[in-house]
A and B are shown apart, each in its own frame.
Chain A
Amino acid sequence: GDKVKQSPSALSLQEGTNSALRCNFSIAATTVQWFLQNPRGSLINLFYLVPGTKENGRLKSTFNSKESYSTLHIRDAQLEDSGTYFCAAEANSAGNKLTFGIGTRVLVRP
């Protein structure tokens, strides 16, 4: 988990508000993936990023490889956004492998 550090570890959000999650890398990350693990335990793919920014509905993610971080922004949070968000990074030195952070637990309150 130290190679990929996620913050905050937990987050409680009022429905309709915005928030940001962050990952800092101590490896030379080349690509980043963000996942949402729902209460049933399934990992849902949110974003696959090379350096740059992607947007999908109320979610937006940026990967800055030079400064070794990635962010995930949640806009207008909904109850179904609750779960644990994981980021994972691949580095050239690590071959075909992803290194995961320990996750950010998000609870959206009505």
Chain B
Amino acid sequence: GGIITQTPKFLIGQEGQKLTLKCQQNFNHDTMYWYRQDSGKGLRLIYYSITENDLQKGDLSEGYDASREKKSSFSLTVTSAQKNEMAVFLCASRPEDGSSYEQYFGPGTRLTVL
């Protein structure tokens, strides 16, 4: 088994601020993902990475940067926080060894922009 941790759990920012969210997994999974969930809605993919230093854009990449520093960690940066923005950012990972392609999720970071 393994676990995905996300920090911080809650993030309060100011309009225009640059904010960084972090994700760590100890599954030894290859691919990691960042999703955004708005209230009452499904998840939308922001960025994903299939290996260290790889970066692939999702459907919602504008306004975000990401960095896969090492296999176990994947960071997301909100480049300029939007006023009154509220969303949950979910990190996920999955293996690419052919055993299964099941994604597992972290507990989320809840963002509020004042």
What's the dominant secondary structure at chain A's contact region?
strand
Known: A31-B101, A42-B108. A101 touches B48 (CB 8 A): no
B107, A96: Cβ atoms closer than 8 Å? no
A86, B48: Cβ atoms closer than 8 Å? no
Interface size class of A (residues with CB under 8 A): 20 to 34
Known: A41-B88, A43-B90. A100 touches B104 (CB 8 A): no
A90, B101: Cβ atoms closer than 8 Å? yes
How many Å lie between the Cα of A97 and that of B108 in the bound state?
A: 19
Interface-side segment among B16-24, B37-45, B65-73: B37-45
A96, B108: Cβ atoms closer than 8 Å? no
Q: Which residues of A contact B (CB under 8 A)?
A: 1, 4, 31, 33, 35, 40-43, 45, 48, 86, 88, 90, 95-98, 100-103
Give 13 A-B contacts (CB < 8 Å), ordered by A residue. Answer: A1-B42, A41-B110, A42-B105, A43-B90, A45-B104, A48-B102, A86-B43, A88-B43, A96-B31, A96-B48, A96-B101, A100-B43, A101-B42
